[in-house]
Structures are given as C-alpha cells and as structure tokens.
Amino acid sequence: MRQTVAVWLIVTLVVLIGGCGGTGAGLAPNNIAFESNRDSNWEIYVMETDGSNPTNLTNNSAADEDAAWSPDGSQIAFQSNRDANAEVYVMDSDGSNPTNLTNNSVSDLDPAWSPDGSQIAFFSYRDGNDEIYVMEADGSNQTNLTNHSAGDCSPAWSPDGSQIAFESNRDGNYEVYVMDADGSTPTNLTSNSARDYAPAWSPDGSQIAFTSDRAGNRDVYVMDSDGSNQTNITNNPANDAYPAWSPDGSQIAFQSGRDGNWEIYAMEANGSNQTNITNNPANDMNAAW
C-alpha cells in the first residue's frame, strides 16, 4: 500500500495523524533538525535550539522527511521519495553527499541510528505489512526484526543499544512496545485502548516519551522505561505529538497544532515552559535533537 508515488501522500498524511509514518561538523548537540513545507514541499531543515538560523539542507523537489542525527552529529539519515518511492537516505550534516541506503522497490521509512552509529533501524512494507528492519550504516545486511502480521513501525533505540522501542497494532490498536535489539522478547508497555505511538528514549534510558490520544486529543506523555508512571506532560486542547529529547535530557521538542499549523515547540522535561521555536506560517514537524 506504500508502493507507489500516490501512496507516498498517504505516508505523509500518516505523519500528520500518527501511526504507521562536504563532511558536517557534528552539529547535533546544538541544533535541531526538522521537516518543513515552507518551500512548498517537504525539506529537511536545521536550526539553532532557540529556533534561529533555519537552513534548508535538502533543497530537492522530492519530499524529504523524518531526519535522524547520527550519534556523532556528522550525518543525518532521512527518508525521501526522490527515487519514486520512499527510501532511507543519509547525508552529511551540512546536506552534502545524499546517498540512498535502502534501494528497494517498496517504501522504507523512519530511520533511527543505533547509539554506536554502526546500524540504522527503519520500517518497511516489503513483506506486505509494516515491519521493523535493521541494516548496517552503509545500507548492507537489511534484516527484518519483527516478522509479524501486524503493523510495526517507528523504531527508537535505547541509549545502551540493547533494546528498540516501536509502535505496533498487534493487540488491535497501536501501542508502544519494546524488544531486544535482535527482535526477541517484544513487550507491550502502554496497554491502553487509545492510540500510543512515536516512542523516544530519554538519554539516560530511564524514561520513554510518546504520543497518545487517550485524553481525547494527542498529547505528549512520558513513562518509565518499564511502562509505569504514564504521565501527560503537554495537557493542551490542541494536538501535540512526536517528542524528541535534548541530548542532556533536560528538554523535549515536539510538534504542536495549537497555532493553527504545525510548529516545533520545546519544553522542559517535566512539561513546563512550552515555547514555540519555529513561528512560521508553514508546517514544521518531526524535530530531531
């Protein structure tokens, strides 16, 4: 269902509504990557953590989305449909040297680096449903980790590399799961009748932020890494989604629709001081810190 250019539009809609969607100088700790349609199509941008100096890195007529910094900040993985279907690419952190890593006829999406930078997890529809895959950082050895009839997507590595959080509808609705990095021992962490998705580990591994619509709209929640103490930290009547932790764990970036369009906000890790850092009439989404 994601095997054509037309279906790419569905993938972009999924990003909006949630569910299954030269050498750089090492900028990640002091910059936030995000996607924006301010140039009339989706591009990967980078900005200072206060929102200043937004810079278009991709400058391509295709849709470029879902940026993910490499652990050393020298590269950014992202998805692009510039080859007529969604593929996982990597580029230097200044936007140079974009390289297609997946080279598959179906859609490959949502890259996430392992903490040591040696591997990239992603999800793919190549088996007839969404599955979590992992590959070497050069694109070799692409391996299905989930092998389940349900939809599994949005992988996120634990800081120690031993586990991968992901979202799955294998229990009838999307929940946040965690599994060992080899795909074994999948465990449902959220166990809620609402939609829970887009997990993001805190840098110290003690918490997982995620998105849930259990309050009637989408909010950012945090829970302990074993699934306990699930807490709404945005508590806003608008939709807030797709959390991303700062490298020191003190802040969380997220996207919000509270201004009538999607903007990137930052807040303290406890939910205080929610601040719009993009302030642009276009849609700015999917922050990566």
Backbone angles phi, psi at 226, to 5 degrees: -95, 5
Predicted model pTM? 0.91
Supply the pLDDT for residue 29: 54
> What is the spatial distance between Cα 269 and Cα 271, in angstroms, rounded to a whole number?
5
Q: Tokens 């140039």 sit at which residue? A: 39
Pick from 181, 205, 11: which is nearest to 110 by CA? 11
Q: Which distant-in-sequence residues (6+ apart) come within 8 Å of 154 by Cβ?
A: 20, 21, 110, 123, 166, 167, 197, 198, 199
Edge to edge, the sheet with strand 119-124 lists 108-113, 119-124, 131-136, 143-144
- Strand boundaries in 30-138, DSSP class E: 31-36, 43-48, 55-56, 64-69, 75-80, 87-92, 99-100, 108-113, 119-124, 131-136
**Per residue of the chain (289 residues), what is the pLDDT tens digit?**
333 333 333 344 444 445 675 323 334 457 999 999 999 999 999 999 999 999 999 999 999 999 999 999 999 999 999 999 999 999 999 999 999 999 999 999 999 999 999 999 999 999 999 999 999 999 999 999 999 999 999 999 999 999 999 999 999 999 999 999 999 999 999 999 999 999 999 999 999 999 999 999 999 999 999 999 999 999 999 999 999 999 999 999 999 999 999 999 999 999 999 999 999 999 999 999 9
DSSP string, 20-38: --------GGGEEEEEE-T
Using the 8-state DSSP alphabet, how is residue 230 labeled?
A: -
Supply the pLDDT for residue 10: 37
Supply the pLDDT for residue 260: 97
> What is the spatial distance between Cα 88 and Cα 55, in angstroms, rounded to a whole number?
21
What ranges do the domains of the chain cover? 5-288
> What is the spatial distance between Cα 253 and Cα 50, in angstroms, rounded to a whole number?
11
Supply the pLDDT for residue 167: 98
Supply the pLDDT for residue 180: 98
Supply the pLDDT for residue 6: 35
Supply the pLDDT for residue 144: 98
CATH top-level class for 5-288? mainly beta
Supply the pLDDT for residue 19: 61
Pick from 71, 69, 5: which is nearest to 34 by CA? 69
